[in-house]
Chain A
């Protein structure tokens, strides 16, 4: 049986509890993600995909239900423990890449390691450079992030997500703002990393062509998993 990176049991998310505007965004979600799997999360806008991704990424907590990351139940963890687990286990790739403009591309990739260790070191710089080579950006690694093309920025974001060698990379519409060629290139990069390193990927996407090239597709409609 494959090792589970992620397991959700009866996860619900309700906003504005007790208020007239109370909204149940996720209903009784059960899902798993095995190590090395590349999963596509699809569904219409407002279906709860981003909320689900935030809960899986430990940025938000479910109202009810249980979330296991690498077998650890996260419900009773404190803020510091959650933060540490997130930093070491999960990498994020956002639609708008969200690189920190004050730093170069290489420094952005160093950032998660810097956050974890507290001080920059040669080892961190070397590791970041290795990842930049992996994503094919070693020649422009010292450029400020803002001086790069959209596709390059998204590659830097992927490199950053891989910095801590996470078990799971969460990608929220990583190709949403890219042209078809760049989108394909970025997707192939993630797929390649997935195959080579065994890192699990969970990618939210509206692009059904890309979704079909993933190992599994989960479709979320009105806060429920339909497929």
Chain B
């Protein structure tokens, strides 16, 4: 007997060891359940991280834009309008009012990790006889690349941007017959026109985006759009991406801007993420329930099988509390042992699946994200489930009348 272990532990472990096959089967059952939880959680975390990475490295998490331009109805006096029909005005490209001040205010928010002003608008790219309508994003590369990882999408050239450079999508380069080092004539508003050299070609993973998207230096875009010194958006990233909506609302309340969070602009994606999390939680719940019922069933049988032993222990002076603890510990030990095996099983399954299932181009379908916290929480969940599941049989054992128990 291990002298460091209390009596209840010794009895619990011996009882489990004696019913070896019973113990083995229930631990296997728990291990499968825990393995499913580990596998599903890690798989979904990986897939989700992949989605989030794809979405959030290609767009800001909060974007500040100027408020909509609205028509002011003419009134003769309060409540009486001159014209009943109010036409929505066309939205011309305008700058965010006092944007440097707002940018500095955003930088002062602790949750904000990066802020970058941009100038966005439409223009025409011309090369020889070919011309294409393009979206021009005027950026400050030093700050903007912290928000949108443009260098990650570069497939030719590099992401360097001076006032005379332009980065174009693959499809646009193909349509214009242009390559790295070639020059494009870009025409903006009010006959503004500049000649820019292609320094980089990007693949954004979307054909229509690759046909239109271009990046130029902020000043170049300001000249093209005829808004000297202005910016149309301020892009931001946060430390907690799921806090974006709340923060956007707060920013909008205290600044003369519209704040759009990635959650609002990607509502469908966010719903999918949420649905994944919910389904994962449901899987955990039902697996935990099946584990709990399995443990309870085994221990109920064990209490019946061991009723004489319980009676003898009570006759020898065992308190009800000691008997209760013996059976609670059995539940906890089963949960814990099953969790350890399940973690190993789930991890092995995940490695196999990760190696076996690849994308069409041979790259991984999802990144392997196995955090210590997943194992700790899962083990804790299974152990607590074991303890809770053992409560009813343990109470039953503790309440056994020793006379009846000994008689069997």
Which A residues contact B (CB, under 8 angstroms)?
54, 57, 59-60, 79-80, 83-84, 86-88, 92, 94, 98, 100-103, 107, 110-112, 114-122, 125, 160, 164
Contacts and interface: CB of A to CB of B under 8 A. Distances in A.
B88 interface: no
Interface residues of B, number: 29
Contact of A112 (B5, B17, B316): B316
Contacts of A57: 315
B326 to A, nearest CB: 11
Nearest to A84: B317
Given A59-B403, A120-B3, A120-B10, A92 B308 contact: no
Given A86-B317, A115-B316, A164-B317, 10 more contacts: A59-B402, A79-B320, A83-B317, A88-B317, A98-B312, A100-B312, A101-B18, A101-B309, A111-B313, A119-B7
Nearest to A164: B317
Interface of B: 1-7, 10-11, 14-15, 17-18, 308-309, 311-320, 322, 402-403, 406
B403 A102 contact: no
Given A101-B18, A118-B7, A83 B318 contact: yes
B322 A60 contact: no
B406 A98 contact: yes
Q: What 9 pairs between A and B have smallest CB-CB spacing?
A: A87-B317, A102-B14, A102-B18, A120-B1, A112-B316, A114-B7, A98-B312, A115-B318, A59-B402
A83 B321 CA distance: 11
A89 to B, nearest CB: 9
Nearest to B15: A102
Nearest to A98: B312
Contact of B313 (A88, A110, A115, A120): A115
Contacts of B1: 107, 110, 120, 125
B7 A98 contact: no
B309 A121 contact: no
B402 to A, nearest CB: 5
A87 B315 CA distance: 7
Given A98-B308, A102-B15, A121 B317 contact: no
B3 A87 contact: no
A120 B2 contact: yes
A119 B10 CA distance: 9
Given A59-B402, A79-B320, A110-B1, A120 B314 contact: no
B406 A80 contact: no
A32 B406 CA distance: 26
19 contacts: A54-B403, A59-B314, A80-B319, A83-B314, A83-B317, A83-B318, A87-B317, A98-B311, A98-B312, A98-B406, A111-B313, A111-B316, A114-B7, A115-B318, A118-B6, A119-B7, A120-B1, A120-B3, A164-B317
A92 B7 contact: no
A81 to B, nearest CB: 11
Contacts of B402: 59
Nearest to B318: A115
A102 B305 CA distance: 12
Contacts of A92: 312, 315-316
A121 B14 contact: no
A60 B5 CA distance: 32
A115 B317 contact: yes
Nearest to A146: B18
A59 B312 CA distance: 11
- Identify which of B15, B316, B318 gathers the most chain A CB atoms within 10 Å of its CB: B316
